[in-house]
Amino acid sequence: MTRRFTSDEHGQVTAAVAGAERGTDSEIVTIVTDWSDHYHDVSLYYAAAAMLAALGLFAAFPGLLDAKLAFFTGGWGEADRHIQLALLVVVQAVLFLVVRFGFEALPFRGLLIPSAVRGRRVRRRAVQFFKASAEKRTAARVGVLLYLSLAEHRAEIVADEAIVAKVDDAVWGEAMVALIDRIRAGDPAGGMAAAVAQIGTVLAQYFPKTEADANELPDRLIEL
């Protein structure tokens, strides 16, 4: 089921971004989405596995196929082997289509996708969005993206080159903990707001607010 943020939740995250940026020259971009990938390839793997499983099942228990073919013979004698092979192909094709397209309709399909695969896809999409929305879009190269993918239970923080040069990735750990804790409590917007506050605290240490700072990127939450 698609989870949409309410206007109040949008306002909560937007206010958190504006508040965090009051102490730093850095710019924070927030993006939330349900899915980072369609995982068509994963559904194809499951569909192919279902086809092979059907073939193996009929090979191990040939009586199953004979029982299905009784319809063609009326129970008298054995069906022609050509009919047997044709039925096997039909069964495999039906299984392939059901699994291939049924996979995407499963509300819990995220559990069927290997964790490592989900992690790579979310990271890849986060980097893509960062390049489009924050990278090199500030004069001092101080943009940061907080990206949350709800269905995959993954979040990423991606920073521009000036921040990467000064700030170790491990520093963002507290922000991720704050985000995850609130999501587990059923409050993803509150989690994003808490994470933004932590990100702002870190950025204020390395890139404190100066008089020349301008608001170069929008503060609003982007929901895809």
Provide the percentage of residues in the chain whose pLDDT is more than 90.
67
CA angle, 182 as apex, 201 and 180 as ends, to 5°?
75
Return d(Cα 97, Cα 129) in angstroms, integer: 33
Q: For residue range 47-96, what is the model confidence (pLDDT) as tens digits?
A: 999 999 888 887 777 666 666 555 555 544 455 667 667 777 888 899 99
Predicted confidence at residue 167, as pLDDT, reads 93
What predicted TM-score, i.e. pTM, was given to this entire model? 0.82
The average confidence (pLDDT) of the chain is 88
What are the residues whose beta carbons fall under 8 Å from the beta carbon of 182, sequence distance 6 or more? 188, 190, 191, 194
Predicted confidence at residue 107, as pLDDT, reads 79
Predicted confidence at residue 77, as pLDDT, reads 47
Handedness of CA 152, 194, 174, 20 (dihedral sign): positive
- Does any domain span residue 94? yes
Handedness of CA 97, 102, 104, 105 (dihedral sign): positive
Task: Based on the fold, state whether residues 52 and 28 are members of the same structural domain.
Answer: no
Predicted confidence at residue 68, as pLDDT, reads 58
Task: Based on the fold, state whether residues 21 and 122 are members of the same structural domain.
Answer: yes
Task: Supply the range of the domain harboring residue 98.
Answer: 40-110
What is the number of structural domains in the chain?
Answer: 2
Residue 58: what residue type? F
Cβ contact 43:106 at 8 Å: no
CA torsion 85-89-92-94 (nearest 10°) is -130
Q: For residue range 200-218, what is the model confidence (pLDDT) as tens digits?
A: 999 999 999 998 889 999 9
Predicted confidence at residue 66, as pLDDT, reads 61
Burial (CB count within 10 angstroms: exposed 0-12, middle 13-18, buried 19+), residue 145: buried
Please give the residue that has the higher pLDDT: either 68 or 148: 148
Return d(Cα 63, Cα 61) in angstroms, integer: 5
Cβ contact 215:21 at 8 Å: yes
Q: Residue 171's CB: how many other CB atoms inside 10 A?
A: 19
Predicted confidence at residue 65, as pLDDT, reads 62
Task: Kindly list the distances between the CA atom of residue 203 and the CA atoms of 23, 116, 207, 215, in Å, as whole numbers in the listed order.
Answer: 8, 30, 5, 15
Task: Based on the fold, state whether residues 55 and 33 are members of the same structural domain.
Answer: no
DSSP 208: B
Task: Based on the fold, state whether residues 178 and 128 are members of the same structural domain.
Answer: yes
Residue 110 has pLDDT above 90, yes or no: no
Beta-strand pair 143-149/221-223 = unpaired
Last-in-domain residue among 54, 87, 110: 110
Predicted confidence at residue 90, as pLDDT, reads 84
Task: Based on the fold, state whether residues 120 and 157 are members of the same structural domain.
Answer: yes
Mean pLDDT of 154-161: 95
Predicted confidence at residue 86, as pLDDT, reads 77
Cβ contact 146:199 at 8 Å: yes
Please give the residue that has the higher pLDDT: either 59 or 155: 155
Per-residue pLDDT band at 186 (split at 50, 70, 90): very high
Length of the chain: 224
Residue 131 has pLDDT above 60, yes or no: yes
Last-in-domain residue among 110, 127, 155: 110
Taking the mean position of all CA atoms in its chain, how far away is CA 177? Answer: 18
